[in-house]
Structure 1
Amino acid sequence: MEIEDFESLMLKTLLTGLILFMAFIVYDLSKKSRAGKFGTFVLFGALCLGVLGFVIKGFLMSSIG
């Protein structure tokens, strides 16, 4: 396995783990603050928008370069 392949695999794996950990943090935050259904939806919506922006940036950068 070449170093570039390993870096690509680890980036995808660790980034997925980070996103799942952030989802757990948001869930825990909404539980502890008793945010309710709408508050939890807003918190997860903000997290999803951030992840979506990162994914779109990745697609744009790979199509340009």
Structure 2
Amino acid sequence: MSIEQFEAVSLYVCVSGLIAYMFFIMYKLASESKAGKMGTFAIFLTLGLGMFAFIAKEVLTIVMPV
């Protein structure tokens, strides 16, 4: 495995783990603050948009070659 392959694999694995951990943090934030259904939806929508943008960027770079 070359250095470039290792860096690419580790980037996707580490970022995926970070995204999963961030979803856990959002869930804990919503449950501890007793946000209710609408508040929980708002938390996941607003904080999840940044993660969605990162994922969408990666998908678009794969789908649309330069």
Q: TM-score, normalised by structure 1?
A: 0.84
Q: Partner of 2:40 in structure 1?
A: 40
CA distance in 2, matches of 1:22, 1:31: 14
Q: How many residue pairs end up in the alignment?
A: 65
Equivalence for 1:8: 8
- Structure 2 residue runs without a partner (length 5+): none
Distance 2:15 2:36 in 1: 28
Aligned residues with identical type, % of pairs: 43
Q: List per-residue Cα deviations over 1:23-62 (Å, max 9, x = no partner).
A: 0001001111000011011111113211121123334556
TM-score (norm 2): 0.82
Taking only aligned residues, the RMSD between alpha carbons, in angstroms, comes to 1.5
CA separation in 2, counterparts of 1:16 and 1:61?
A: 17
